[in-house]
Structure 1
Amino acid sequence: MKRVLYISGLSVLLFLMASPAWSANQEDAKEELNAKEFITEHLADSYEWQIVSDGTRHLAIPLPVILHSKTTGWHLFSSAHFHHGTNSYKGFEIASDGKYKGKIVEVGDNGNISRPLDLSLTKNAASLLFASLLVILIIMGVARLLKRDPMKPRKGFPGMIEMLVLSINDDVIKPSIGKDYQRYAPYLLTVFFFIFTNNLLGLIPIFPGGANVTGNIAITFVLAIMTFLIVNLTGTKEYYKEIFWPDVPTWLKVPIPLMPIVEIVGTLTKPFALMIRLFANMMAGHSIVLGLTMLIFITASLGVAINASMTVLSVIFTVFIDLVELLIAYIQAYVFTLLSAVFIGLARIEPHSEKKKVTSTGQAA
């Protein structure tokens, strides 16, 4: 009996979800929905943080716009001026097409369009700050709780955070880096929780989620650069010796420095791999979820029966992909932290003579 009620309730819900889309499509003269443009716009950054929308009206948090024009100087105003019935403000507007689509441009008196210096707080930037503050509050709160009674086992959320910290520190950072792992643990743990938190927030369709932070290549670029700098600024002499004078036949090093060039390229491809892996996986996941959701609206003009059946499939597959994305949110944070730790460990290589001393000491003991 309960199963029948569940199925009936789900059917009614899906019908209610499908009917408005079908009706709106009929009234709109069967206007085709551009799925590619819709997905691109939802993944792109914006100058407001949308909370809810019904298609004609929307509730959003306006964000501060900070611009510097070569002709009129600095400007500071709210992005609400672009979304409350006016398309332009003080000679600035958000481009609707072209290479500056979605960005604020300045329109001159002669109609020329130029891009001012844009330091505005966008949705991705606001979400990044929110996620950073959230990570700080969570970690500091759990640390304060554990400091009161370190030996008391924790349950619930504090226990989960403690488990994640110990797992990443003992199973990833310590084995990958070695004896001075504690020097790099704060950075690597921060990177893990920062990426994991932003991945989870990106899966939440309503405020304060919905921002595509880790699916933005600028964010993953900065994270990869930070790892690159730590690796190469704290590398040992043996690490640089293996780059510029590796232990290979001399003819591979002089007169043409073939192996040093290969090693230098290798130091650049490591952060590139970190950047692309995180960006591509999160961007692809968000695109798939949006694409599956769009099936409801794309099939609205094909009739109630087809639209209802595709709505059922869309809901089922979207829920499944969302569950997979929860796993991927953790895996991508874990992999980025693991590879960063491995790269740092490779840069902390010791001279072969010291390795032999350690080995002989261990055998003698």
Structure 2
Amino acid sequence: MALRTVKYILVATFSLFTIFFSAPLLAQHDTTHSGETAGKGEHEAAGGHEEKKEGFDAAGVIFGHILDNHEFHITEYKGSDGAEHSISIPLPVILYSKEKGLSLFSSSRFEHGHATYNGYKITSEKIVAVNEDGSINESIKVYDLSLTRNVVQMMIALAVLTWLMLSIAGAYKRGHGVTSAPKGKQNLLEVLIIFVRDEVARPNLGKKWQKYLPYLLTTFFFILINNIFGLIPGTANVTGNIAFTVVLGLISFVVIIASTNSHFWGHIFNPPGVPGFVKPILVLVEFLGVFIKPFALIIRLFANMVAGHIIIICLISLIFIFGEMNKAAGWGTSPVAVGFTVFIYMIEVLVAFLQAFIFTNLTAVFIGSAFEGGDHEGETLHV
């Protein structure tokens, strides 16, 4: 147990280091880019002329896909006028500030970041207040309550989950699947429900499995639906958003803590059979383990769902990167990049199910360990 907790601490430390270290890197990238732009401006002001050649921005494409946005961006095309046009689905923008009050309008008013509206503009997917000359007004605090694509897609996933469960419940009430064989979506989801019940809830929760099964099923299907939606081109990677996984982890943490008993806390603060000089260290490690367990759930789901999407986008980006070097290289890279992309995409379909199962199963394991020894220690179920 102590060894496993130490592993959790190492993973958590590395994950925190990665998260906080990535922010300065992004800031440095933006600063460098701004510095290059300023340098070009000074060169042109001094009378020099340098033709601006825009290349393929792989980093922009990657972060534009995995980060949140105020619209569903589908694609871009070059019109007859030679200008780039975007095809996207705008979303509602809801802003509040003490100076301007409540503002409600469509994100299309920003024209993909090229325009200001009602004293606001969007920069790096963050909406800020601006002065009349277009400069940022830092004295105005803007509260962004907008329905971003992550929020909208999560609401859609919740609606789909509710519809599926209610329709299946209605089918069972009418006798389908009871007096006759289940059909359609009822037949598909019944397999998953039985799997969660027999492979997750019963082995880990003992005789209390019925109490926690509704929560485990809700968690499993909610993550699964969001994972599958995230594989559709043009949609958001909701489960790859750290805010989403943090909320799921906190909910699991509350359920775990609410399930603890005196036996659990007794082993935390007074480990039996341990020498006295070791107890202070072990108590600290075990107490930190209470918080590291949900943190491991958060990081595991977030990292796995982000990694797969980044790999797919990187493989596709290779076509454009080599194409800028040489058209023949771009065409030659295309079959290899597309082949690996299809392969990784198929793996991501498996990962969508696997990560939903792992999050649900670990949650059940942590809940079971919270009341283990209280009233079902050593209990074995045979189904």
Same fold flag (TM > 0.5):
yes
Secondary structure at 2:125 match in 1: coil
Q: State the alpha-carbon separation in 2 of the partners of residues 264 and 221 from structure 1.
A: 20
Q: Which amino acid aligns with 2:60?
A: E
From 351, 354, 357, the equivalent of 1:331 is: 354
Percent same amino acid among aligned pairs? Answer: 41
Query: Pairwise CA RMSD of aligned residues?
Result: 2.5
4+ runs deviating over 4 angstroms: 108-111
Moved more, 36-45 or 315-324: 36-45
Residue type of the alignment partner of 1:218: A
Cα distance, 1:107 vs. partner?
Answer: 2.2
Residues 349 and 299 from structure 1, CA distance in 2 versus in 1: closer, same or farther, beyond 3 angstroms? same
Q: How many equivalent residue pairs?
A: 321
Q: CA deviation at 1:54?
A: 2.4
Q: 1:291 aligns with which of 314, 322, 325?
A: 314
Residues 63 and 122, structure 1, Cα contact 8 Å, conserved in 2: yes
**Which residues in structure 2 correspond to 1:165-180 (within 5 Å)?**
165-180=193-208
Partner residue, 1:68: 96
SS in 2 for 1:104: strand
Matched, 1:310 2:336: no
Letter in 1 for 2:343: F
Write the letter of the residue equivalent to 1:61: I
Return the letter of the residue paired with 1:332. Answer: Q
Q: What are the superposed Cα offsets for residues 143-190 of structure 1, whole Å, 9 maximum, x if unpaired?
A: 211332214222443211000000011111111111111111111101
Residue in 1 aligned with 2:41?
A: none
- Once the two structures are superposed, residues 197-225 of structure 1 have per-residue CA deviations (whole angstroms, 9 ceiling, x without a partner) of 1111111104xxx2010000000000000
Change (3 A) 1:43 1:267: same
Task: Tell me if the contact between 2:90 and 2:106 (Cα under 8 Å) persists in the aligned partners.
Answer: yes
Q: Show the counterpart of 1:322.
A: 345
Residue 58 of structure 2 is aligned to residue 35 of structure 1: yes
1:57 aligned counterpart, secondary structure: strand
Uncovered stretches (5+) of structure 2, i.e. residues with no partner: 1-50, 79-83
The DSSP-based 3-state class of the residue aligned with 1:59 is strand
Inter-CA distance 183–296: structure 2 relative to 1 (3 Å threshold): same
Aligned to 1:347: 370
Find the counterpart in structure 2 of residue 231 from structure 1. 256
User: CA shift at 1:51, angstroms?
Assistant: 4.0
Could you say what secondary structure the match of 1:88 adopts? coil
* Cα displacement (A) at 1:253: 7.7
Compute the displacement of 1:61 (Å): 2.4
Return the alpha-carbon distance in structure 2 between the equivalents of residues 88 and 236 of structure 1. Answer: 56
Q: What amino acid sits opposite 2:159 in the alignment?
A: L
Code of the residue aligned with 2:350 in structure 1: it is L
Contact 2:316–2:337 (Cα < 8 Å) also in 1: yes
Q: Choose 159-168 or 78-87, whichever is displaced more.
A: 78-87
In structure 2, distance between residues paired with 1:258 and 1:298 = 52
Equivalent residue runs for 1:1-365 within 5 Å: 31-54=54-77, 56-83=84-111, 87-95=115-123, 101-108=124-131, 111-113=136-138, 115-149=141-175, 150-206=178-234, 210-249=235-274, 251-252=276-277, 257-351=280-374
**Equivalents in 2 of 1:355, 1:317: separation in Å?**
48
Shift of 1:29: 8.1
Q: Secondary structure at the match of 1:251?
A: coil
Q: Structure 1 residues 282, 31: CA separation in 2 closer, same or farther (over 3 Å shift)? A: same
Contact 1:104 1:115 in 2 (8 A): no
Aligned to 1:247, what secondary structure does the other structure show? Answer: coil
**Matches of 2:207 and 2:130 in 1, distance apart?**
59
Distance in 1 of aligned mates of 2:277 and 2:333 = 61
TM-score, length-scaled by structure 2: 0.78
Q: Deviations over 1:99-145 (max 9, x none)?
A: xx211111246743355111111000000000110111112112211
Equivalent pair of 1:245/1:253 in contact (CA under 8 Å): no
* C-alpha distance 178-85 of structure 1, shift in aligned 2 (>3 A): closer
The answer as to whether partners of 1:278 and 1:332 remain within 8 angstroms in 2 is yes
